[in-house]
Amino acid sequence: MRWSFLPSRSGATMALVVLVSALLVIPTAASGDVGDGREACNTGEICLNDWPAWSRYTKHFWWSAAYAPNNYQWWDTVDDEHQGEVDDDMSAAVNKDTRCKVRFVDWATGNAWTIANDNFWLTAPAWINDAPDEHVRVSRR
């Protein structure tokens, strides 16, 4: 039985269907570096602020990230524009990741700060404040 509303299944058509399906299923790095793209920090995101937790400068992530090589920028929630680099400039964070803790690392000193996925904004301690170069999702254990 032939379904008249379905296109023919030539090799080129099937290849196109497979390619489009793969692109829709696999998240890209570009889509992951902004969290869900909203100003509020939502479930699943790792959110940073440039000053204490009430700061207007924020950046959200889904994944681990090295800041300087990727030129991540703060989002100014008042002026609605990018404003300065995230690298060596984070003062508060909340981990809303659904599975992992998050470790912030200062490459120059090796200092690290690990936070649980408990949904609480935390001010960075002195040894890591305004210093992290990356954050890494780490196992619960």
- Position 10 in a domain: no
What is the per-residue pLDDT for 17?
41
CATH classification at residue 89: 2.60.20.10
- Position 12 in a domain: no
Counted domains in the chain: 1
- Cα(31)–Cα(97) distance, integer angstroms: 16
pLDDT in tens, 56-72: 899 999 999 999 888 89
pLDDT in tens, 25-35: 333 333 346 78
Q: What is the mean pLDDT of each run of 10 residues along the chain (141 residues)?
A: 52 44 37 70 94 81 92 90 90 95 96 96 92 91 53
Entry pTM: 0.73
- Position 20 in a domain: no
Parent domain of 78: 29-138
- Position 15 in a domain: no
